[in-house]
Amino acid sequence: MRIYLVSVFSALFALSAADAPTNSADSKPAAVQSKIFSLAINPPADAALTEIEFSDIDLSTATDAAKISGARVKTVRTKEKVFREYLAPEIQFFRVRSIHKTGVAGAYSKTYSIKGYLKKPYREPTIPVVQQGQTEYLLGSRIELPTQPNLVTKYKLGDGEFVEYREPLVFDKPDTYKMQVNLENADKQVVYTKNFVFKVELNPPKTRAVIVDPVHSKRGVSLGKDSSLVFLVDDAESGMAKIFYRVVPLGKDANSVQFAEYGKRLTYADISANGAASLVQFYAIDKAGNKEEVKTEMLFCEIEVKTNAAPQPEASPK
């Protein structure tokens, strides 16, 4: 939603509604579930302040004098581009106007419900995981939790004590971990809690290059015209995600050839285009983000040498 307002000086500014809050199925009910009013303000260039008027009734349509005189009204003036504040439960409406540098107030906007501008006072913490079967693997070995304004983030691993989060967590031992994350306000009330269960895998995959239908020659195992090259990966944990390879002609700088993602077997034509002998370099990355060292192997191709047959002598006339 976007609201446009014109001040008495014909200056324009806009207000953007906060994102609608979402519910997390993984989170548990917390001690406090209050939401905060959040309004992004883009004031005109000649405005000194923005005035926001909150009320428990819609003052722009109210006609009952008793209701108007008994309305709960709160007025705030701010220079902030983003205004955030907790409101009393009875506050239901708001309207805004700009205050010119000379102190003259512009016209009020129409009245809006605060419901579209209420959001959670925190960013729900998440961790980078990848699902493999029934197990969630931590992607990499590092967890970084978001900074929460006016809140303290605490966590505990397993049955341990809660510790205040101050820096990214690094897991250097493979295991299955249980972690609980709490967000606390200034009164040490838990406003949000979430539990995570994830597995840390640190073993990289193991890849090998295999020639299908090889040719056995004096140089050893080679690729013939009916041969192909495939890459096989062993990863008993999170599973293989991607394989990368490059074929480098002998004598060429390997760094000048980019790695390509492996999708299907390489044919004799793919390999022999690099000459009778070449280097193949390859590595794999598993779904947990573990990368193996680059491996290098020599490849030989049986190149058919075309020879021009000697011309047959002409028959002597009889």
Give yes or no for a contact between 176 and 199, defined as CB atoms under 8 angstroms apart.
yes
The per-residue pLDDT for 210 is 94
10-residue stretch averages of pLDDT, the chain, 318 residues long: 40 40 42 74 92 92 83 93 88 94 92 91 90 91 90 95 96 96 91 94 93 80 90 86 94 94 94 92 93 94 66 59
The per-residue pLDDT for 154 is 96
The pair of structure tokens assigned to 213 is 């239908």
The per-residue pLDDT for 316 is 59
The per-residue pLDDT for 11 is 32
Q: Which residues contact 51 (CB under 8 A, 6 or more apart)?
A: 75, 76, 77, 96, 97, 98, 99, 105
Secondary structure class of 272 (helix, strand, coil) = helix
The per-residue pLDDT for 162 is 97
Domains along the chain? Answer: 2-119 (2.60.40), 129-200 (2.60.40), 206-300 (2.60.40)
The per-residue pLDDT for 182 is 95
β partners of residue 154: 164, 182
